[in-house]
A and B are shown apart, each in its own frame.
Chain A
Amino acid sequence: MNNGTAILSTDNLRMHFPVKGGVFQRAVAACKAVDGVSLTIMPGETLGLVGESGCGKSTLGKTISRLYEPTSGGIAFEGNELADLSRRELKPFRREIQMIFQDPYESLNPRHTVGTIIEEPFVIHKMGTRAERRQWVADLLAKVGLPESAAGRYPFEFSGGQRQRIGIARALALKPRLLICDEPVSALDVSIQSQVLNLLMDLQREMGLSYLFISHDLAVVKHISDRIAVMYLGRIVELAPAEEIYNNPVHAYTKALISAIPVPDPTYVPDRVILEGDVPTPIDPPDGCRFAPRSGTGHSPEMLETLPPFKEISSGHWVEACPVCAPAR
């Protein structure tokens, strides 16, 4: 992939967790949560990341923001390699990549006022005087649509949607370039969800932000993303522009995932591919096509053993080219 101008690119990124067992708690297996992911995010772009629980999408987000120490592979932010940096060397890059979490009830410290929560990044990075910081907090609150008086109140005094706005204000404090949004609207009601999505789109236009938008809600991802990556068991199986992936899905998993979305139109007759079984465990998954056990079609033994290549089948449309799950057109 061309990553000359990308704001972020990962190269064959892996995040494996040891599974401990036995009397001595030795590593007996590896949970391959992220297993060889290469993707790029361009400036001002939203890359949607979809997949089911346990596919590794949140782990990928946390690994990119270096909350985890990657097992192998590269993470480059504007060409600077982050994967091997020490904590101190990472500090300047921490400002550039921020996260928004799913649960607005758990991601804010209940004992701090909203002002303290939003001010904290400035304190950590030793920026501004007290008066300046107070002004910045007021500006940030205004930016996310909360009154200035919110600074003196505690998180429990706010609704879910307002708390998510507080989380967004905190993430924006240091003027990051890339926001990793991990299921930012999943815990919100429909009428509040659209308010927060609009806010995210407005902020992107205003500040030129890039987003990695992680969600299991495909309609939301489709709405907000420029390109979409579909993840299954630690790997990206398909990556394409948003319209293209919905109009022209190639991989059997992408097709099943899209067809499973309930459409809010009672006259629509779904042409549904119902998948058998559940997402298998990422502990010691097969080396080859990982979707094989659920695809319902025959895979030859070598397809289960050798990793299918990630191929560009049309401009910007990439797919893990298992001959059974993603036959050439």
Chain B
Amino acid sequence: MGEVEPEILLEVRDLVTAFDTDAGQLTAVDGVSFAVRRGRTLGIVGESGCGKSVTAMSIMRLLPQPMGKILAGEVLFDGRNLATVPAEDMRSIRGNRISMIFQEPMTALNPVHRIGKQICEVLTQHNDLSPDDAWQQAVEMLDKVGIPSPEIRATEYPHQLSGGMRQRVVIAIALACGPELVIADEPTTALDVTIQAQILQLINNLQRDLGMSVMLITHDLGVIAETCDEVCVMYAGRVVERAQVKELFANPRHAYTQGLLSSIPRLNGTPKSELQTIDGMVPALSELKPGCRFAPRSGREHAPELLVERQALRQISTDHWVEACPVCARG
């Protein structure tokens, strides 16, 4: 693209996250690597159970305890490895320099506290503010995320707001301390399409105004196409393909990415035509193979050693990486 790429803010290297369960240790994220650049949006797309939310929880160090553990890998944020920083230090980063927007605006807010108070909580946690100043800033945040009559809304409770308004409040809380990175986990999935358009536009505008980086997790390729600069496609705990958004949509190289892109109904498609499908279903975590995990669904013959040996993520052009299974990633 000619222009100089901005510096990397967050780099995840070979992250492995596992959960202890009754059925033994299950690896939900298995060697995932990607980077988020300053001021840019990285999209992570994949189906349920592919490990996209667990990746986010690992970065935030919000894994359910004591079952969830980061077994290996690094999460480098501004030069520090978040996977190993003491919990105390992590608390001063979380909500302050990295914050999160959750999917369910109904459950992400505390139903018994006023909205203003919930924003004040994050502000006073990280800044030395008087209660009056914090309240003033909370009202300003509500105004910034487009909530009408913010002074009045700040004194209300979450149940008095609609779903779209609640998601705006969640965004206000996430952005209150001016974070450098915002991780948005399915921020619009629970919302109607007209409200989704409002919220995506809001996130885009705020990103432009505040210069923050965004990591957007979603299953919706339409949302990815519209908001992201770069995309990681995850399948069964691994990144199978990573590229600039235009490159990925124009030139998908992995069979899974190709399958995903061709199985969504398109507005300009032939009505009532047979849709492309991906056979079978996402494998359970307990039955994952070390080699190519998409092999059983790819409909293509795999040699036995491809199922046993892990295939590395290989760079095939500038900013385009693909898991180099010779069968699934052939041209």
B192, A272: Cβ atoms under 8 Å? no
For B197, give the chain A residue with the smallest CB separation: A260
Interface residues of B (CB under 8 A from A): 47-48, 162-165, 192-198, 200-201, 219-226, 245-246, 249-250, 259-261, 263-267, 269, 271-278, 281-282
A193, B263: Cβ atoms under 8 Å? yes
Q: List 30 A-B contacts (CB under 8 A).
A: A53-B192, A159-B281, A190-B219, A191-B47, A191-B259, A191-B263, A191-B277, A191-B282, A193-B263, A194-B264, A194-B277, A197-B275, A219-B266, A222-B267, A223-B271, A223-B273, A223-B275, A224-B272, A225-B271, A246-B267, A259-B197, A260-B196, A261-B267, A262-B197, A262-B226, A264-B266, A265-B249, A266-B246, A267-B246, A278-B163
6 closest A-B pairs (Cβ-Cβ)? A262-B222, A223-B265, A191-B278, A189-B47, A52-B192, A260-B197
Inter-chain CA distance A114–B192, complex, in Å, is 33
Cβ of B100 to closest chain A Cβ, rounded Å: 22
Known contacts A223-B275, A262-B226, A266-B225; is A272 also within 8 Å of B267 by CB? no
A53 to chain B: which residues have CB within 8 Å? 163, 192
A198 to chain B: which residues have CB within 8 Å? 274-275, 277
Contact size range, A: 35 or more
A220, B265: Cβ atoms under 8 Å? yes
B245 to chain A: which residues have CB within 8 Å? 266
Residue of B195, B245, B246 with highest tally of chain A CB at under 10 A: B195
For A50, give the chain B residue with the smallest CB separation: B193
For B224, give the chain A residue with the smallest CB separation: A264
A260, B249: Cβ atoms under 8 Å? no
Contact with B along A247-284 (1 / 0, CB 8 A): 00000000011011111111110101011001100000
Known contacts A191-B47, A191-B263, A263-B225; is A222 also within 8 Å of B194 by CB? no
Inter-chain CA distance A251–B162, complex, in Å, is 25
Cβ of B137 to closest chain A Cβ, rounded Å: 26
Cβ of B46 to closest chain A Cβ, rounded Å: 9
Inter-chain CA distance A257–B272, complex, in Å, is 21
A194 to chain B: which residues have CB within 8 Å? 263-265, 275-278
A162 to chain B: which residues have CB within 8 Å? 281
A201 to chain B: which residues have CB within 8 Å? 272, 274
Cβ of A58 to closest chain B Cβ, rounded Å: 14
A260, B194: Cβ atoms under 8 Å? yes
A223, B272: Cβ atoms under 8 Å? yes
B263, A279: Cβ atoms under 8 Å? no
Q: A162-B281, A189-B282, A194-B264 are in contact. List 15 more A-B contacts (CB 8 A).
A: A190-B219, A190-B221, A190-B264, A191-B260, A194-B278, A219-B264, A219-B267, A224-B265, A242-B271, A264-B221, A265-B249, A266-B226, A272-B197, A278-B163, A278-B165
A262, B200: Cβ atoms under 8 Å? yes
B250 to chain A: which residues have CB within 8 Å? 267
A264, B249: Cβ atoms under 8 Å? yes
A219 to chain B: which residues have CB within 8 Å? 222, 264-267
For B249, give the chain A residue with the smallest CB separation: A266
For A294, give the chain B residue with the smallest CB separation: B194
For B229, give the chain A residue with the smallest CB separation: A266
A264, B264: Cβ atoms under 8 Å? yes
A135 at the interface (CB under 8 A from B): no
B200, A264: Cβ atoms under 8 Å? no
A260 to chain B: which residues have CB within 8 Å? 193-194, 196-197
B164 to chain A: which residues have CB within 8 Å? 278
Inter-chain CA distance A114–B219, complex, in Å, is 30
